[in-house]
Amino acid sequence: MSEPNRLDVLRCADQDREVVATLLNTAYADGRLTFDEHAERIARAYGAKTFGDLNSLTTDLVAFDRPAPPAPMPHYAATPAPQPSPHVPATAAYGSLTTGAFTGGNSFMSTYNPGRVGLVASTVNLNAWLGEIRLDLVGAAFEQRDINLHVGGGMCEVKIRVPEGVDVNISGLSLIMAESKVQGLLPRPDGIRINLIGTVIMGEVKVVGPGMDRRRYERFIR
């Protein structure tokens, strides 16, 4: 009996999951994955435990002109169960892949930043009073194509970053002495639509996509 591939049974780290997620996002943008395939594989990528789990997600995507995911760093082999990388926030929503989708959060005289969101619920609620909300949806999977994102608050700033393939509808947003800005969206016909709904008083709602200046896009929610 042949022995299993040593690489397949090694534990993967967060940076390895990110490599595969990036490849899956590229494949979706290229049209090589459908919406449902992308959402299912992204969820499996962030829930992967071994390199074998990750490899099974990309075997039909790595073409002759695209490099395969990089080999593991040597220290992984010496550390069977590594601790999470320091750059991952304690509030990162990787756990939402198993405990439930991201449904929102609140800010009162503070900044609310949930970190990386793994799965977005069909209905999300954000409330900010005298505070700020920073929501990064890049790399996230979505329960449905239409997402209702309820926003409420006063004297606040709500900043949302979305990936390619997402459209944002602000017709349901009521602004009282407030303003909204939507920049750089690159929607797809079969992509996600986020409907912003709610009332914001004396505040600002900003949504940006990858079509804006790259440096500003990457630093938007920091």
Q: What does the pLDDT look like over 128-162, one tens digit per residue?
A: 998 999 999 998 889 889 999 999 999 999 999 99
Average pLDDT over residues 39-47: 84
pTM above 0.75, yes or no: no
Q: For the chain, what percent of residues have pLDDT higher than 70?
A: 78
Could you give the percent of the chain with pLDDT greater than 90? 39
Q: What is the pLDDT of residue 151?
A: 94
Average pLDDT of the chain to the nearest whole number = 78
Phi, psi dihedral angles at 86 (to 5 degrees): -60, -30
